[in-house]
Structure 1
Amino acid sequence: MIGLTSRLSAVPKLLTSLTQSSCVAVRMKSVDHRAGVPKTDTQMDGTVGTESYIPVNVKGYERRLPTSETLRQKFFGVPFMELPMVFIKSTRNNTLISVFDHKLKSITYTSCRLEGFKNARKKTTIAGQTTGVAAGQRLLRRGINAVRVLVKGIGPGRMASVKGIASTGVNVVSITDRTLLPEVGPRPRKIRRI
């Protein structure tokens, strides 16, 4: 009982430390129809927690940014510029993983469909993580144990596939977001008036 009360008393301290060191971006579901996002009432397997909050840690980000020395630094005996690159393209319906060496020669490729997921199951986080695990195992079989990851797209398998690659024992040196953001984009739909 003593351990339980000490844990409960630590909860407010934990919550205050989290609120001071990070911020949360909330998705506005009331304006999703304007952006062309279809409304779905059913929850699919493997998509729990993918659409609620986006945690963003803003404390001490300067020391985590790469510098000019990072490009010359060696990671696990390989210079940063010669590390293999893992390109993850995460769309709404699929996750594609391509691996290239530093000269952009293809090493391996996999996707949710190649790992056995069909139709709507390709868009789940479980499918993205399984694809990441398969890509990581292929890298280990080829003797590659350190990579840099470049993520493109905002699908549900985005960070799940990075987690899958890291869980196989491949060292992820850096994660770069290459998602294209339109400066102006298409004209939005007019606001409905009643």
Structure 2
Amino acid sequence: MGPLLVWAIRMVDDFSDDILAAWDERQRLVTAARTNPANQAGKEALVALLMPLITAKAPLPTTAVHGAVSLARYYVGGLTGASKGHIQAFVRRHGLRELAPQYPGPCPMDSPVTGRIAGQPWREVMDFNETLALMRHLGTACFIVIAYLTGMRPGEVLGLPPAAALIPNPASTARSDGT
């Protein structure tokens, strides 16, 4: 149990800020991609981002959807401000259904990386595609720490409200004069 607890505490203490910042950035990109209006600026930003990569046969920002590699549309839409329609048309016009699996690449985000392992950053950048798995790992680590350090049974931990850590403990907020 010792190594597992050490991993869990380390995950929460050292990497949670990075993971939560990446999650916020991912949510911002997805929300923007879903709501981007069709306008010329977004279309031009889409071309400016992807055409140099296509021309150079460089890695494209990709994701796996049902096991198939495709253009990371939410990521691209969030970065460029391009609408879903503009992205769809661009994918068709430039054959990205075929190109994306041939040139898969990462989806780096601007969120900070502050966690360290042996004095070195634990990763160079946070990736859009890894954020969901990292959030699951962080949730698992929190579960392990809460269950182990409090002695709660799994059902009790799972029954906690999502913001339980933010609820003040009445014993810790009582004043020394008893009021």
TM-score, normalised relative to structure 2: 0.24
Mark the structure with the bigger radius of gyration: 2
Q: Which has the higher contact order (CA 8 A, sep 6+)?
A: 2
More helix, by proportion: 2
More strand, by proportion: 1
